[in-house]
Chain A
Amino acid sequence: MPEVPRPAKRRTLARRERRFAYALLAPAVVAVAALIAYPMYLIFATSFREGKSLNFLALNKRPFGLGNYRDVLSDGATWHNVYVSVAYTIGSIVPAFVIGLATALLLNRVFPLRRWLRSLMLLPWAVPGVMVSIMFLWMFDASFGVVNYALRTLGLITTDIAWYTTESTALFAVIVPTIWKSYPFFTLTLLAAMQSIPVNLYEAAKVDGAGAWARFWQITWPGIRGPAVLALVLNGLWAFREFDIIYAATAGGPAQATETLGLRAYNEAFGFFYMGRASVVGVLMLAIAMLFVFVARKQLRKEFF
């Protein structure tokens, strides 16, 4: 008959197991504290330092107060930045999702050169943002760009459009390269999900007389919904804090027409040297991103947790 441990011994064992578990968790806790918690603390701490300072190392000598929050939140330009950020995020993510879904459906079919085409389709995702901007700057160049040339040739415009230097067209002109760069991520994610759907489901649906539309909504969409939601959330957050494509194309201009919150934070910090205000913009971005995740939490919990 096995020996039953006495209560005191059991307590010691449980304590030792708990300690061991904490020891195993410790590296992760330290990593999170160093890589996430400390920078967050710095952003919050800096957001209370008022005034202009070109000396980053002496920021903690600046006056402490809520002035930056008052200035930034009461500034009409901030809410313009929020509008630009949301418009840019929705304007780039929705078309990128639609194109990504369409290309995933196309590449999920069997046809010659399918593998070759799959690799080609993913290329934009690998191109650095700055390079993407340069390519589109040339294509959308007001005087010598191919876009204006094509529109002129088709008779759709009579005078050249200065896409990147006109307030009304600049946001569209930075959204287009973002769509081009981000749709392959949707293609990749959705295609992988589509390939995990058993083929016999489609065969059975066909036998039952289901059309293409019904097969998509009843079989494909339920099979890809989880990855689609995750890809939308991730891409949405990436687009919301996008910097390099916009900075290289317009630097937030003309006249702040493409100045998202990320660009505003950069300009406040490194253009005007108001590190406190830049940090407030960072805190605002964080709050909006958290709100976005909070709104999407039900769907995320349903799909993943």
Chain B
Amino acid sequence: MNGKRIKAWLLGVCAALLCTSAWAQGKTIELEFPSWQFEEPGAADYWTAIIAAFEASHPGVKIKKQQIPFREYIDKMTVRFAGNNPPDIVHLPTRNYLAFASQGWLAPLDDDLAKTDVRQSYMKLNDEMLYDGKTYGVLMMGYGMMFFYNEKMLADAKVAVPKTSDQLLKAIAATTDASAGRFGWGAPTNQHPNVFVEISTWVTGEGASLFKEHAYNFTDPAVIKAVDDFRAAVKNAPKGTSSEQARQLFLDGKIAMLRDGPWVAAQIKKAPDATRPYLKMGLMPFAVSPGGTSNSLHMPAKLDAEKKKLVWEFIRMTTEPQWQVKFTQLTSSPAPRKTVMAAPEIAANPELAMVNKAAADAVNLFPQNIAVREDFNEFAKIFVEYGMKLIGSDRPTADIMKDMQADMTKRVPPK
């Protein structure tokens, strides 16, 4: 190859590099955002609206949504972080975030939060974002568990809307006719993370607690009584269903009563015409209102400066008063900003007022012990394994709870 040819080749390569660089300058920045909520009516509408507004105010930035079923969500996120491939916008069930923060996978947001009014204006549940003296995220929602019922199915069975757990069990039995495909109660009855939520709701609702200071309290007589009630309820629930399937069966008029978060109210609005008029929401018929933090937004620790800035701007946008109001309107769920409930468009809505009351009275059903929170995934998996024994076997509750206490103490010791 002679000198002229080599020069021509070099010039060509330089021109190609310049063109690529120029193209790169004008290219779209994509922020990856996985969530389990992109197909949930209400929540999906909120995310669509805020993402569109963010993209409109940030030309050249695109948020790429990725829907992942809730059952697989935590495992998938953990594998991504463990493999050093985290998403850009991190959306987590709040009960799980500490496991991520304790690994150093999430970025502290204290410096950015100091420039906002979040600390002063958010409900106290937002303190769960604090770990080891730093703030690792922003709460999206804290809630009280709600009671959903099919007015017609209760009337057909000639039972009133229950106000206590005993009345609830009687109503569940009265409205069940399994041979006709009608069930009194809807609950996750397959290997699903929400089996823990279901059992903990009964325990917390009946005034007991799964934890006692720095130890598990699974063998406490009050806990066993509440778990017995849970077992009596799920005997009248369709078997092998996930939370999502239970919700759908309720919307279709095949389940009379359901415990769930307030977001189901948004789904009722899209229920079939034949059932929608009969589907109602009320307060849980328990002595105590169980609840907790739901989900939160975070930033991965490993992110380039440009994306870090954009991700923070997106998180900050969700904390703004108008988007907090929009959140409550679209999802029928309480937003964490304290002033939202006083907003005229929210205060005038009795359903939202009830949701607000449940959230305000809620006793947290999730573990508060730091060691358990750091290892919540393993804790929940073990709990669900024993939960499946409670659902699918006739072994005495006390025996199963005793085995779980011993196993859990060994595998996830609380500190």
In the complex, how many angstroms separate the beta carbon of B109 from the nearest chain A beta carbon? Answer: 21
Contact with A along B76-116 (1 / 0, CB 8 A): 00110111100000000000000100010000000000000
- A residues less than 8 Å from B190 (CB atoms): 164-165, 250, 253-254
Flag A163-184 by CB within 8 Å of B: 1 or 0 each: 1111100000000000000000
The bracket for how many chain A residues form the interface is 20 to 34
Contact at A152–B240, with CB atoms within 8 Å? no
Could you say which residues of chain B place their CB within 8 Å of the CB of A292? Answer: none
A271 x B388 contact (CB < 8 A):
no
Question: Does A143 lie within 8 Å of B82, measured CB to CB?
Answer: no
Complex Cα gap A253–B239 (Å):
14
Supposing A167-B392, A255-B385 touch, asked if A162 and B82 sit within 8 A by C-beta, the answer is no
Answer whether residue B391 sits at the interface, using C-beta atoms and an 8 A cutoff: yes
Interface residue B386 (Cβ < 8 Å from any Cβ of A): yes
Q: Determine whether A54 belongs to the interface, using a CB cutoff of 8 Å to chain B.
A: yes
- Whether A160 lies near B178 (C-beta < 8 A) is yes
Whether B178 lies near A255 (C-beta < 8 A) is: no
Closest chain-B Cβ to A122's Cβ sits at a distance in Å of 30
Report the separation of the CA atoms of residues A142 and B84 in the bound assembly, to the nearest whole angstrom.
41
Which residue of B75, B84, B191 contacts A253 across the interface (Cβ within 8 Å)? Answer: B191
Please indicate the chain A residues that have their CB under 8 angstroms from the CB of B181 in the complex: 143-144
Q: Report if A273 contacts B (CB, 8 A).
A: yes
Cβ-defined contact, A160 with B239, below 8 A: yes
Q: Cβ of A162 and Cβ of B178 under 8 Å apart? A: no
Residues of A within 8 A of B189 (CB): 162, 165
Report if A42 contacts B (CB, 8 A): no
**Helix, strand, loop or mixed for chain B's interface?**
helix
* Distance in angstroms between the alpha carbons of A268 and B78 in the assembled complex: 13
Decide if B25 is an interface residue (CB 8 Å cutoff).
Answer: no
From 271 to 288 in chain A, residues with beta carbon under 8 angstroms from any chain B beta carbon are 271-273
Is B381 within 8 A of A165, CB to CB? no
Which chain A residues border B385 with CB–CB below 8 Å?
253-256
Q: Does A224 contact B (CB under 8 A)?
A: no
Contact B78 A254, beta carbon cutoff 8 Å: no
Q: Count contacts on B: residues with CB < 8 A to the other chain.
A: 31
Q: Check B388 against A143 for contact (C-beta < 8 Å).
A: no
The reply to whether the CB of A159 lies closer than 8 angstroms to some CB of chain B is: yes
| A165 and B391 alpha carbons, distance in the complex (Å) | 8
Q: Is there a chain A Cβ closer than 8 Å to B378's Cβ? A: yes
A257 to chain B, nearest CB (A): 9
A137 within 8 Å of B by Cβ?
yes
> Once A and B bind, how many residue pairs between them come within 8 Å at the CB atom?
88
Residue B179 is within 8 A (CB to CB) of chain A in the complex: yes
Contact with A along B379-390 (1 / 0, CB 8 A): 001001110110
Assess the A254–B391 pair: CB atoms within 8 A: yes
Q: Which residue in chain B gives the minimum CB-CB distance to A137?
A: B240
**CB pair A54 B81 closer than 8 Å:** yes
Tell me how far the C-beta of B90 lies from the nearest C-beta in chain A, rounded to whole angstroms.
15
- B78 and A162 within 8 A (CB): no
Q: Determine which residue in B82, B103, B378 has the highest number of CB atoms from chain A within 10 A of its CB, and name it.
A: B82
Once A57-B84, A143-B181 are accepted as A-B contacts, the answer to whether A254 and B392 lie under 8 Å apart by CB is: yes
- Given contacts A167-B389, A255-B388, A271-B75, is CB(A143)–CB(B179) below 8 Å? no
CA distance A165 to B242 in the complex (A): 11
Bound CA–CA A141/B82 (angstroms): 35
Check: A251 CB closer than 8 A to any chain B CB: yes
Is there a chain A Cβ closer than 8 Å to B377's Cβ? Answer: yes
Which of A56, A252, A253, A273: most chain B CB closer than 10 A? A253
Residues 236-275 of A, flagged 1 when their CB comes within 8 A of B and 0 if not, give 0000000000000011111110000000000100111100
B339 at interface, CB cutoff 8 A: no
Q: Quote the shortest CB–CB distance from A245 to chain B (angstroms).
A: 15
Do B178 and A165 touch across chains, with their CB atoms under 8 A apart? no
Closest chain A residue to B191 by CB distance?
Answer: A253
Q: Cβ of B378: which chain A residues have Cβ within 8 Å of it? A: 271-272
Q: How far is the CB of B184 from chain A (nearest CB, A)?
A: 12
Residues of B within 8 A of A143 (CB): 178, 181, 183, 238-241
Q: How far is the CA of A165 from the CA of B240 in the complex (A)?
A: 6
Report which of A56, A57, A163, A254 forms a contact with B388, defined as CB distance below 8 A: A254
Q: Is B393 an interface residue (CB 8 A)?
A: yes
Residues B82 and A273 in contact, CB atoms below 8 Å apart = yes
In Å, the complex CA distance between A252 and B189 comes to 15
Q: Within 8 Å CB of B103, what residues of A? A: 54-55
Q: How far is the CB of B190 from chain A (nearest CB, A)?
A: 6
* Of A57, A163, A164, A252, most B-chain CB atoms within 10 Å: A164
Q: Are A54 and B78 also in contact (CB < 8 A) when A143-B178, A159-B178, A253-B388 are?
A: yes
Task: Give A contacts to B, CB under 8 Å.
Answer: 54-57, 137, 141-144, 152, 159-160, 162-167, 250-256, 267, 270-273
A-B contacts, 11 listed (Cβ < 8 Å): A54-B81, A54-B103, A137-B240, A143-B181, A160-B178, A162-B189, A165-B189, A251-B191, A253-B388, A272-B378, A272-B381
* Given A54-B81, A143-B240, 4 additional A-B pairs, CB 8 A: A152-B179, A160-B239, A162-B392, A273-B82
Question: Across chains A and B, which 3 residue pairs bring their CB atoms closest together, nearest first?
Answer: A162-B239, A254-B388, A142-B239
